[in-house]
Amino acid sequence: MEIKAQLKHIRISARKIRLAVGFLKGYDVTEALHQLEFSKKGCAPPVIKLLKSAIANASNNHEIEKNNLYIKEILVDEGTTLKRFQPRAFGRAGTIRKRSAHITVVLTEKKVSKKKSAKKKEEAKDTVVPKEIADYKDIVKEAVTKNKAGFQEIKKDEKPIGKFQSIKDKFIRRTGKK
């Protein structure tokens, strides 16, 4: 199973990020984190954060252990370029391009494991609804039918007091419409 995480519009050029991240393809996740922690490159902290996010996606959404993951792909694409101008000699203007990048990390499992979610679904089917919950549902149904009968007995001229006000009166009070 492939787990993806993306980081978009990071204000570092894609070329600089590729230098720091290119060798991580095929590494175990823990090994890659160690490599990035000791890297002197400026893009290392955001990439560490992205990698941790991908690991969290795998563990929370797909119930895959951290030790069973490796980096299948790490893609760095160019993002939007902000164009700024700086004054130059003889009234000219020089362009300054402030580049950004998009990083995508794809993780996969080393060994395919049975999914715990399938086991949980089977266990949920086997469980029986406790008696208290079944009784509670009956009580709620009775209360609803009693309330419907109670609202029908109230006359238009009479206004109930306090928490027993009708839904129609609440609507009129809130909106001012009849």
3-state secondary structure 90-130: HHCEEEEEECCEEEEEEEEECCCCCCHHHHHHHHHHHCCCC
In the sheet that holds 101-109, the strands lie side by side as 3-10, 101-109, 69-78
Q: Is the pLDDT of residue 107 over 60?
A: yes
Q: Does residue 120 belong to any structural domain of this protein?
A: no
Same domain, 105 and 161: no
- 72: tokens are 């299948």
What confidence tens digit (pLDDT) does each residue in 43-85 have? Answer: 999 999 999 999 999 999 999 999 999 999 999 999 999 999 9
Q: Does residue 119 belong to any structural domain of this protein?
A: no
Same domain, 45 and 103: yes
| Average pLDDT, rounded, for the chain | 81
Same domain, 41 and 108: yes
pTM above threshold 0.75 = no
When divided into structural domains, the chain yields a total of: 2
Same domain, 31 and 99: yes
What gap in Å lies between CA 167 and CA 155, rounded to an integer? 14
57: containing domain: 3-85+94-112
User: Interhelix angle for 44-61 vs 14-21, to 10°?
Assistant: 70
Same domain, 23 and 104: yes
Q: Does residue 123 belong to any structural domain of this protein?
A: no
Same domain, 65 and 137: no
